[in-house]
Amino acid sequence: MTGFAGWEMPAQYQGIRAEHLAVRQRAGVFDVSHMGQIKTCGPQATELLQRLLSGDLRKLPKGGAQYGVICREDGGVLDDVITYRLAECEYLTVSNAANHERDLAWFSSHARGYNADVIDLIDRFAMLAVQGPEARAIVDELADGPLPIRMRVCERSVGSRPVTICGTGYTGEDGVELLLDPADAPAVWDALIAAGAVPAGLGARDTLRLEACFPLYGNELSEGRGPIEAGLGWCCAEATGFIGSDAVARTRKSDASASGPAEKSVPAQRLVAFVLDGPGIARPGNPISQGGTVTSGTLSPSLERGIGMAYVPAERATPGTPLTIDVRGTERGATVHRKPIYSKEA
Amino acid sequence: MADASYPDDLHYHAEHDWARVEGDQATLGITWYAQDSLGEIVFFDPPKQGATVTKDSPYTEVESVKAVSDVTAPLSGEIIEVNETLADSPEKINDDPYGEGWLVKISLSDPSEAESLMDAAAYEATLD
> A26: domain CATH number?
3.30.1360.120
* Higher local confidence (pLDDT), B12 or A267: B12
pLDDT at A260: 45
Lowest mean pLDDT among A3-12, A16-25, A60-69, B7-16: A3-12
Which pLDDT value is given to residue A6?
78
User: Cα Rg for chain A, rounded, in angstroms?
Assistant: 20
Mark yes or no for CB contact A279/B45 under 8 Å.
Answer: yes
Half-sphere exposure of A232 toward its Cβ, with a 13 Å CA cutoff?
31
Give the predicted TM-score (pTM) of the model: 0.91
Average pLDDT, stretch B64-82?
94
Pair A175, A295 in one domain: no
A29 lies in the same domain as A131: yes
Asked if B39 reaches chain A (Cβ–Cβ under 8 Å), the answer is yes
Establish if A299 touches chain B: CB-CB under 8 angstroms: yes
Comparing C-alpha atoms, which of B86, B85, B80 is closest to residue B49?
A: B80
Residue A94 to residue A86: CA distance in whole angstroms? 13
- Same domain? For A201 and A278 the reply is no
Question: Would A160 be classed as within a structural domain?
Answer: yes
Counting the structural domains of chain A, the total is: 2
- Check residue A274 and give its pLDDT: 98
Q: Which of B44, B45, B66 should be substituted to probe chain A, the one whose Cβ sees the most A Cβ atoms within 10 Å?
A: B66
Architecture of domain B11-126: Beta Barrel (2.40)
- The domain boundary, picked from A186, A211, A236, lies at A211
Q: How far is CA A176 from CA A138, A139, A183, A184, A211, in A?
A: 10, 8, 20, 17, 19
Strands A198-200 and A28-31: parallel
Cβ <8 Å between A281 and B42:
yes
Bridge partner list, A82: A67, A94
Q: Where are the domains of chain B?
A: 11-126
Nearest alpha-carbon partner for A302 in A201, A209, A215, A193: A209
- Calculate mean pLDDT across residues A16-34: 96
Distances (CA, A) of A16 to A12, A203, A215, A248, A305: 6, 6, 19, 37, 15
Q: How confident is the model at residue A333 (pLDDT cuts 50, 70, 90)?
A: very high
Torsion of CA A293, A298, A300, A301, to 10 degrees: -170
Answer whether B87 touches A (CB < 8 Å): yes
Judged by CB atoms closer than 8 Å, whether chains meet at B68 and A11 is answered as no
| pLDDT reported for residue A346 | 47
> CB-based contact (8 Å) between A279 and chain B?
yes
Task: Flag whether residue B37 sits within 8 Å of chain A, measured between CB atoms.
Answer: no
Minimum mean pLDDT among A4-13, A117-126, A272-281: which range? A4-13
Q: Does A281 touch chain B (CB under 8 A)?
A: yes
| Helix or strand run (H / E) with residue A234 | none
Q: Which of B43, B45, B61 sits opposite A299 (nearest CB)?
A: B43
Residues in contact with A1: Cβ distance below 8 Å, sequence separation at least 6, in sequence order: A8, A9, A10, A11
pLDDT at res. A10: 79
* Residue A234 within a domain: no
Residue where one domain finishes, among candidates A171, A189, A211: A211
pLDDT bracket for residue A1 (50, 70, 90): low
- Mean pLDDT across A14-37: 96
- The predicted pLDDT at position B45 comes to 87
Quote the domain boundaries for residue A19: 2-33+125-211
Give a yes or no: residue A92 inside a domain.
Answer: no
CA dist., res. B52 & res. B80, Å (int): 10
Q: With a cut of 0.85, is the ipTM above it? A: no
How far the first Cα of chain A sits from its last, in Å, is: 34
